[in-house]
Chain A
Amino acid sequence: MGALLEIENLQVEFDTWEGRVRVLDGVSLSVNAGETLGIVGESGCGKSMTALAIMGLVPRPAGHVTGGSVRFDGEDLLKANEARLREVRGHRIAMIFQEPMTSLNPVFTVGDQVAEAARLHLGLTAAQARRRTIEMLKAVHIPEAERRIDEYPHQFSGGMRQRVMIAMALVCEPQVLIADEPTTALDVTVQAQIFDLLQELRDTRGTAIVLITHDMGAIAEMADRVVVMYAGRKVEEGAVERILGEPAHPYTRGLLACRPQLKLGPGAVRTALQEIPGVVPPLHLLGRGCAFAERCGEAMPRCREQFPGESEVGPGHRASCWLLEAPEGRRAA
């Protein structure tokens, strides 16, 4: 296919007190240049772990990538050595984090921190890096960039700090930007500004964005394509209009129903219930079947026995649910 970033069958396991737990199981997804891919799901479903695995930052020594591939521009990053990964990180693939309040180092000025990435990868001198940093701070719309470059993180508001983080991530013009819940910690008005900024940067620079969120509103606003994850697996994938308009997986429908003001789909979506009962099961208790079965209103006996394969429900729209398999007839399998 030649996508810019292509993850195939990624598996990540963690050592815990309950034994080895599979936190990512066979996750496959891809992102093209200039495209925004949304990854949605509840807390603990593996969204952030997917991002860390792409960057080669799965926490050691507890975490292990046990299978699959992460192909970036044709190169399998899972097979790359640490030195190569350091070249890629921040330079080709950059990441911004959920907590702008704690993502900046309190003892250095914001300018130092943005310039660090530029000096590291672009080999700029201090003066060049400073000029580049001011340009970047302007690009993310920080007023009075020339003055604020010498200020410390505690002098910035949350929204401004997230802009600094974005400047830091984009200073080397990466091809992929992974945004891990970039607006969760921010006010709603600031959220909209950050999304506008990300969209603007994507459109002017052609950066591919992987947007990780649990907020369907953010997905509707930002994403071109969506991957829905549940308990370490991808359960549905498709273009944003398909996912929001004709969600195929009961979990996706549940997530959409949780948005009170959402009135996109006809009929079926209009559930009175505004929550999905239950919680994501602890990963060490996952059985062989579909992890969502316990919370699914439409679960069948076979859902608890076997994980469903992917079914094509439309062009580029796939979901893993037994409801979508050809009914009756082939049930014996």
Chain B
Amino acid sequence: MDENAARGPWREAWSVFRRNYAALIGLAILGLVLTVAIAGPWIYPVDPFDIVAAPKTAPGEDADAILGTDYLGRDMLAGLVRGGRPTLMVGFFAAMIATGIGITMGALGGYYGGKVDAVLGRITEFFQVLPALLFAMVLVMLFTPSIVTVTFAIGFVAWTSMARLTRAEFLRIRQLEYVRAARAIGSSDSRIIWGVILPNALPPIIVAATLATGTAILFEAGLSFLGLSDPNVMSWGMMIGSNRNYLREMWWAVTFPGVCIFLTVLAISLVGDGLNDAFNPRLRTR
């Protein structure tokens, strides 16, 4: 490619990201997890709720369950393969919900300032001082625990930091010259908020949303560990939660899903950090 060809800020960020090994490793792990989550159930078509062998079979003891069985005799490997999809979906959609609420609240508060900002700021603080896990538990218990309610509950308690971040970015950007210039050509408020300021505020928001996905996965695991998850959906968190009473006899039943969660969240964090470096011009070394 011609070095002088038009290069947008996004392409520029990618060229920095590409040279960040940690971020690339994170991306690779994430890609692997996604592939297994999407294609796994076809490659390894065992129902994770089926009892395939004796309960508490250790890994390697039974050819029918290579990674052993849980306290009911259900195949661990099948659970790991099937558990990726709901775990990632809860993480992703909860982060989307949190980002959506956070961007809206932060953008309106930061752009309009004054009374709007004061009211939205108080609402944000109200949600911020509630203990997040407890609040999410209450929300899940109010409605029946299902994958949808868990997702919404997590999204609903996790948006405050996103709102504050967005607000700070809007406060900074709204006084820049190009925002005044946009107003001077007659752009409307909504056009300036979503079409002019938001695209410039996106880089840190994308980083935060990425990291929020990891946090949401941990949150889901936490809720599942406490028994607040969809009983009909096998997720990694639920595997840990349902086997937690046998933790001393069956190291594998909690270790394998735990490692999966750990690797996934680690991968997401590495990608998030990589994006942060790529978007932050001060850290760029050419």
Contact = CB atoms under 8 A, between A and B. Distances in A.
The answer to whether A and B interact is yes
Contacts of A57: 180, 183-184
Interface in B168-187: 176-178, 180-187
B245 interface: no
Nearest to B202: A107
A160 interface: no
B9 A152 contact: yes
Interface of A: 55, 57, 60-61, 85-91, 94-95, 97-99, 102-109, 116-117, 120-121, 150-152, 155, 165, 168-169
Contacts of B177: 97-99, 102-103
A103 B186 CA distance: 15
Interface secondary structure of B, over-half rule: helix
A89 B200 contact: no
Leading 7 A-B pairs by shortest Cβ distance:
A90-B185, A90-B186, A89-B186, A117-B185, A102-B177, A95-B184, A103-B177
A116 B187 contact: yes
B45 interface: no
Most buried by A among B9, B184, B199: B184
Contacts of B8: 107, 109, 152
B186 A104 contact: no
Contacts of B199: 105, 107-108
Contact of A106 (B9, B113, B187): B9
Contact of B6 (A55, A91, A155): A155
Nearest to B9: A107
A165 B181 contact: yes
A81 to B, nearest CB: 13
A37 to B, nearest CB: 18
Given A57-B184, A102-B178, 20 more contacts: A86-B187, A87-B186, A89-B183, A89-B185, A89-B186, A90-B187, A97-B181, A99-B177, A102-B177, A104-B178, A105-B200, A106-B178, A106-B200, A107-B9, A107-B199, A116-B187, A117-B186, A120-B187, A152-B9, A155-B6
Contact of A91 (B9, B113, B186, B196): B186
B6 A90 contact: no
B2 to A, nearest CB: 12
B285 interface: no
Nearest to A106: B9
Contacts of B182: 105, 116
Given A61-B113, A151-B6, A107 B184 contact: no
